[in-house]
């Protein structure tokens, strides 16, 4: 169980740190809105818990290779999060800000997938899981770059459009190309096989294949956070653009986001079937994402602050659904109760902080707007949490029936 626990902890370390790079977009929101409150809350409630959580789970891991991998990923994400603040201090133009962010995101995506390739080559994770993660990462990466390009074309003017489009496209292509290189093409990694214990990891993988709860936690950790990251990072910018951009341009950006969510959801469903994963699936979360995408697309031409409030509340509800699911599974699976509680607090605080940051980015310090936002968020969150607990109840009942049959 120790090795299984470490594998789960490593997965959640990936998820806990997975949204750090979106703080660079938060800084872009600050440059547009000039609201220090959004920046302060993001740094205090969003950055610190995520970083702390990633470091905690990194240190409790027993395996050196996986610990170094988690720490290395966090370092790259921290660099991405610091790109825009540093560039802002040195008064670098917006063009170079977005170019640097896109470049670091490409490096990060390639680095993560390279680590997955190496782990798959050594039998730490399965080939099916590697293909699944590659599809998710490639899909969200392409959507992210498309959104960044569209934002750049709007924020910059005509002179730099062509250059930005060419450079961003080349970066995107190079990142995807690196991700598609087969694992057999990489040189032998200088890792001591005895320290990793391949036989035990294979036993752990067999246990994962036979236990639907562990399978669900892996799929949620690798897939859902990657699917939601572009939405969480881009929505405040898009809402602010609503007041300056033409209706057709705003609708195009929202359509890109909606398409990305739908594509990622379909890929997750396809991967779930082809990998022959558990009877209890992620249909609830996929439904939340698809409904959210449809509402975004439908609200593209609506000039109503109330619709935008509903949009934020639905985003919070979707995040709350996933947070509740992750917390329940963490406490149900991880034997180390202290680690499970720490991760649960981190997931809760960071999810709430994300909603607060989004609301402040759109409303500034408008108290009436914040009250409406939290009232609507509470309503949708209660519904989402109730659905999540019902789903988890069904999960446990199915597990009990399975044990009774055995």
pLDDT digits (tens, 9 = 90+) for 199-217: 444 444 454 455 444 444 4
- Tell me the per-residue pLDDT of 336-346, one tens digit each, with 9 for 90 and over: 555 555 544 54
How many angstroms separate the CA atoms of 207 and 211, rounded?
A: 6
pLDDT at 118: 53
- SS (HEC) of 164-195: HHHHHHHHHHHHHHHHHCCHHHCCCCCCCHHH
- Asked if the structure places residue 224 within a domain, the reply is yes
- Tell me the per-residue pLDDT of 144-197, one tens digit each, with 9 for 90 and over: 444 444 444 444 444 344 444 444 444 334 333 333 333 333 333 223 333 333
pLDDT at 12: 40
Q: pLDDT-based confidence at 377, cuts 50/70/90? A: very low
- Asked if the structure places residue 406 within a domain, the reply is no
Q: Say how many CA atoms lie within 13 Å of 375 toward its Cβ.
A: 8
CA distances 168 to 67, 143, 147, 388, Å, are 32, 12, 11, 39
- Tell me the per-residue pLDDT of 110-124, one tens digit each, with 9 for 90 and over: 445 545 555 555 555
Tokens of 136: 């998710």
How many angstroms separate the CA atoms of 319 and 181, rounded?
A: 33
Report phi then psi at 246, rounded to 5.
Answer: -75, 155
pLDDT at 371: 52
- Give residue 277's region: left, alpha or beta (phi > 0; psi -120 to 50): beta
Mean pLDDT of 281-285: 38
Residues 130, 117: contact at Cβ < 8 Å? yes
The dihedral sign for the CA sequence 318, 323, 326, 328: negative
Residues shown for the chain: 406
- Asked if the structure places residue 271 within a domain, the reply is yes
- Asked if the structure places residue 191 within a domain, the reply is no
Residues 166, 153: contact at Cβ < 8 Å? no
How many angstroms separate the CA atoms of 3 and 195, rounded?
A: 12
pLDDT at 379: 52
- Tell me the per-residue pLDDT of 331-371, one tens digit each, with 9 for 90 and over: 444 445 555 555 445 444 444 444 444 444 444 444 455 45
- Asked if the structure places residue 280 within a domain, the reply is yes
- Number of Cβ within 10 Å of residue 250's Cβ equals 21
How many angstroms separate the CA atoms of 303 and 360, rounded?
A: 19
- Asked if the structure places residue 192 within a domain, the reply is no
Domain that holds residue 42: 2-186+197-401
Mean pLDDT of 237-251: 43
3-class DSSP assignment, residue 90: coil
Average pLDDT, the chain: 45
Residues 324, 220: contact at Cβ < 8 Å? no
- H helix and E strand count, the chain: 17, 0
Q: pLDDT-based confidence at 96, cuts 50/70/90? A: low
Tokens of 399: 């597990």
Residues 100, 87: contact at Cβ < 8 Å? yes
- Asked if the structure places residue 315 within a domain, the reply is yes
- Asked if the structure places residue 122 within a domain, the reply is yes
For residue 397, pLDDT beyond 60: yes
- 30 CB-near residues (< 8 Å, 6+ apart): 36, 38, 39
Count how many domains the chain has: 1
């Amino acid at each position: 169980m120790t090795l299984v626990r470490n594998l789960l902890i490593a997965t959640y370390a990936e998820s806990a740190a997975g949204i750090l790079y979106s703080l660079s977009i938060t800084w872009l929101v600050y440059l547009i809105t000039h609201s220090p409150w959004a920046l302060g809350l993001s740094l205090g409630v969003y950055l610190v818990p995520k970083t702390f959580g990633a470091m905690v789970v990194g240190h409790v891991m027993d395996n050196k290779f996986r610990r170094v991998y988690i720490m290395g990923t966090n370092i790259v994400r921290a660099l991405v999060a610091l790109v825009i603040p540093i560039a802002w201090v040195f008064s670098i133009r917006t063009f170079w800000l977005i170019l640097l962010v896109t470049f670091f995101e490409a490096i990060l995506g390639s680095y993560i997938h390279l680590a997955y390739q190496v782990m798959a080559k050594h039998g730490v994770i399965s080939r099916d899981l590697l293909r699944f993660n590659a599809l998710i990462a490639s899909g969200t990466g392409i959507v992210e770059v498309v959104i960044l390009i569209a934002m750049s074309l709007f924020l910059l003017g005509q002179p730099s459009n062509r250059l930005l489009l060419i450079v961003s496209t080349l970066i995107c292509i190079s990142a995807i190309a690196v991700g598609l290189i087969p694992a057999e093409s990489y040189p032998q990694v200088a890792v001591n096989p005895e320290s990793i214990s391949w036989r035990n990891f294979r036993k752990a993988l067999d246990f994962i294949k036979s236990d639907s709860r562990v399978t669900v936690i892996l799929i949620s950790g690798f897939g859902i956070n990657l699917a939601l990251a572009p939405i969480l990072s881009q929505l405040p910018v898009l809402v602010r653009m609503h007041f300056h951009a033409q209706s057709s341009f705003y609708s195009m950006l929202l359509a890109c986001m909606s398409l990305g969510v739908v594509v990622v959801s379909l890929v997750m469903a396809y991967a779930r079937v082809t990998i022959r994963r558990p009877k209890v699936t992620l249909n609830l979360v996929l439904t939340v994402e698809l409904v959210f995408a449809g509402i975004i697309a439908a609200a593209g031409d609506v000039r109503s602050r109330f619709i935008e409030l509903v949009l934020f509340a639905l985003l919070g509800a979707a995040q709350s659904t996933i947070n509740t699911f992750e917390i329940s599974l963490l406490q149900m699976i991880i034997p180390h109760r202290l680690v499970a509680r720490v991760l649960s607090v981190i997931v809760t605080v960071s999810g709430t902080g994300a909603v607060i940051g989004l609301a402040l980015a759109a409303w500034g310090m408008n108290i009436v707007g914040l009250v409406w936002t939290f009232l609507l968020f509470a309503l949708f969150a209660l519904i989402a949490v109730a659905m999540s607990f019902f789903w988890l109840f069904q999960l446990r009942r199915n597990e009990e029936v399975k044990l009774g049959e055995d």
